[in-house]
Structure 1
Amino acid sequence: MQPRRLTAAALATLVLTGTAALAHPALAEPHTPATTAERAAAQPVPFTQAAAHLATDGSYTLSWSSPAAHVQVTAHTKPDASDPGTPLGSAAGTGTLTVPAGALAADRRWYFELTPDTGGAYVVAERSLGIASAKNFRDAGGYRTSDGRWVKYGIVYRSNKLSGLTAAEQQRVVDQGITHDIDLRNYFERKDEPDKVPAGVTYQVADVVSLAHGVSFHDPALMTLAQAIAAGLFSGSSDLGQSIGYPFMVNFVGADHAFKDLLTAVNSNTGATVYHCSAGKDRTGWGTAVLLTLLGVPRATVEADFLASNDYTGNPDAVELSWLRAAFAEVDHIYGSFDAYLHKGLGLDDATIQSLRNRLLTP
């Protein structure tokens, strides 16, 4: 499919009505497990539900569902549970466990290893990092795929702008093992509010509206514009600019390069990665939807993660489901399938896609 160039007149129309809204808003080597812990980790995870919630008083509530008879719970400071850990007790195969406030140090992030009496263990954590200056900074892990696997915690994070990080918050970022920061914002956003990147963290720009690759689209831009406006009016969208912006994140060739750069960076980085835009809900929201869908997370779960920005930002109108669905509809319209979008739109090869799944998913 050849991108279509936009005439100057059409570009002017697009910029005035749509683009402004968009601007603001190697496979792992085989490994034979050697230790008991490694053998357990290599087994399929039997949990069908697992979560950790940190209350305002500092207590944790852990819950899970599995066919096991008993589940042992251990607290760790590392997402791979490679540290000695602190035993917390056990409960039924489908059960809950409360960790009282003060039982664990409050100045670090805790991961909870759920070890069933049959099958592999799974590690859960409170999704939010509790960073006051970046309220939408959260883990993209913790979701179950359609084939029963789980997205691991502690590898990929999504956030809003990182320009206000305090020294303590920067240290909290470093403590999560984050070594790569991917900025999806445009030039003016980056210039006005540059990221405060902690020492040791590599900074990368993946500008979703960059013109570095020209101004071209997979489908006629004016047609996409008209269809987006009509769909936004039909859905009752509270922000037609966003109704326009989301389809263009699929149709605009420059956005393809940005989201490809995001996914390939997540795949190649040996540490954890954070990516963000300004509010952490639109460009970051679509990037996360693409990543989770690539991993096999069901659409309903992807949509729930997208809508969670309304809670994390404290703004119940931060995002609307119709916007995300408009982007997925554009994928279907242009490519016919999400898999075709990954390969033909973003230019990902099978090796990269499989490598992402190998790295981010449980067995």
Structure 2
Amino acid sequence: MTDSTPPTQTSELGEELVRLASADNFRDVAGVEVPYVAADGATLRRGVVFRSNELQLTAADAESVAALGITAVYDLRHDHEVEAHPDAEIPGATWHHLEVKGIPMDAVANLQHRDAATAVMHDVYRSFVDKPGARAAFAQLLTRIADGEGGHLFHCTAGKDRTGWAGALLLHIAGVDDDTIMADYLLTNDFSAGTRTKYLGLIEEHLGADKVEVYESVMVADAAYLETAHAAAAEHYGDRAGYLRHGLGLDDVTIERVRARLRG
């Protein structure tokens, strides 16, 4: 979104591409320019659930988000990430901290080789399935979306991994096919290209050119990462439906409420 004045009607905002100058991976879970269509032909409802990277927003962008009718913000980051970069306040929205625990932050911060970086990222995505703290956070997120009113927004730091998995689960619940889910997950690489280039430049400046390739693996959405989470769900719970019901503890009523919220 540019810093232009937002439309006055939330319904109008829900029908257009919303981009934030200060949060480049902000987007509607139901689709960017046009709503996604589920495998059974149902059109997803835009303006209900949004995803983002961390909310280091300009005042203009905070007002633009508020104009979308956001009533709840769910921050999936670790405590220290929140302390270092607290979210900007969104007028009219209540902030909730749903920390996704289990990500090996120390390992990420001390990477020496590209292969190690790739291995850590696969571990991160497996943790979404096999770490109780991560499952608890995702269960709370989906339950609150099911039970809530108004627009909901969830995010992590880059809006890529924790947010990417949550977004993929929501689209799966809505009945969107896997090819579309994967394409949506990979949109992060387009939306956040400028931010990624900036941070890789800082890495080159402060850590050396040899570390750029190492950390590039951490800063991209890779199809193999999402597939690792899917494989872990299949290994532990049979499939994603089993993960939702037995891994996250969501009953059929809650899952159906999420589905109903997302579909037009």
Please indicate, yes or no, whether the TM-score normalized by the shorter chain is above 0.5.
yes
- Residue of structure 2 aligned with 1:151, choices 36, 40, 44: 44
Could you tell me whether the CA contact under 8 Å between 1:208 and 1:283 is conserved in 2? yes
What residue in structure 1 maps to residue 142 of structure 2? 263
Distance in 2, matches of 1:280 and 1:138, equals 10
What residue in structure 2 maps to residue 301 of structure 1? 180
What residue in structure 2 maps to residue 346 of structure 1? 248
Could you tell me whether the CA contact under 8 Å between 2:77 and 2:156 is conserved in 1? yes
Alpha-carbon offset, residue 133 of structure 1: 1.2
**TM-score in terms of structure 2 length:** 0.79
> Does 2:74 correspond to 1:190?
no
Could you tell me whether the CA contact under 8 Å between 2:36 and 2:176 is conserved in 1? yes
How do residues 103-182 of structure 1 correspond to structure 2 at under 5 angstroms?
Answer: 109=13, 111=15, 125-126=16-17, 129-141=18-30, 142-162=35-55, 164-182=56-74
Could you tell me whether the CA contact under 8 Å between 2:102 and 2:131 is conserved in 1? no
Distance in 1, matches of 2:131 and 2:263, equals 30
Alpha-carbon offset, residue 210 of structure 1: 6.7
| Cα offsets for 1:6-52 (capped at 9, x unmatched) | xxxxxxxxxxxxxxxxxxxxxxxxxxxxxxxxxxxxxxxxxxxxxxx
Q: Aligned AA for 1:209?
A: K
Q: Aligned AA for 1:158?
A: R
Q: Aligned AA for 1:189?
A: E
Distance in 2, matches of 1:132 and 1:197, equals 16
What residue in structure 1 maps to residue 107 of structure 2? none
Distance in 1, matches of 2:8 and 2:58, equals 25
> Does 2:222 correspond to 1:320?
yes
**What percentage of residue pairs aligned between the two structures are identical?**
37
Unaligned runs of 5+ in 1: 1-53, 59-74, 82-108, 112-124, 212-232
The total of aligned residue pairs comes to: 224
Alpha-carbon offset, residue 335 of structure 1: 0.6
Alpha-carbon offset, residue 356 of structure 1: 1.4
Q: Which has the higher contact order (CA 8 A, sep 6+)?
A: 2
Residue 308 of structure 1 aligns to a residue in which SS?
A: helix
Q: Aligned AA for 1:149?
A: A
Cα RMSD after superposing both structures: 2.4
Q: Aligned AA for 1:266?
A: I
- Name the CA shift for 1:110/1:185 in 2 (closer, same or farther; >3 Å): closer
What residue in structure 1 maps to residue 263 of structure 2? 361
Alpha-carbon offset, residue 324 of structure 1: 0.3
Could you tell me whether the CA contact under 8 Å between 1:237 and 1:322 is conserved in 2? no
Distance in 1, matches of 2:235 and 2:245, equals 15
Residue 234 of structure 2 aligns to a residue in which SS?
A: helix
How do residues 205-354 of structure 1 correspond to structure 2 at under 5 angstroms?
Answer: 205-209=97-101, 239-314=118-193, 315=196, 318-354=220-256
Distance in 2, matches of 1:179 and 1:237, equals 40
> Does 2:10 correspond to 1:78?
yes
Q: Aligned AA for 1:296?
A: G
Alpha-carbon offset, residue 110 of structure 1: 6.5
Could you tell me whether the CA contact under 8 Å between 2:14 and 2:47 is conserved in 1? no
Could you tell me whether the CA contact under 8 Å between 1:343 and 1:349 is conserved in 2? yes
Could you tell me whether the CA contact under 8 Å between 1:237 and 1:320 is conserved in 2? no
Residue 301 of structure 1 aligns to a residue in which SS?
A: helix
Residue 10 of structure 2 aligns to a residue in which SS?
A: coil
- Name the CA shift for 1:188/1:76 in 2 (closer, same or farther; >3 Å): closer
Distance in 2, matches of 1:269 and 1:160, equals 21
Alpha-carbon offset, residue 197 of structure 1: 1.6
Q: Which has the higher helix share?
A: 2
Could you tell me whether the CA contact under 8 Å between 1:151 and 1:361 is conserved in 2? yes
Distance in 2, matches of 1:255 and 1:325, equals 17
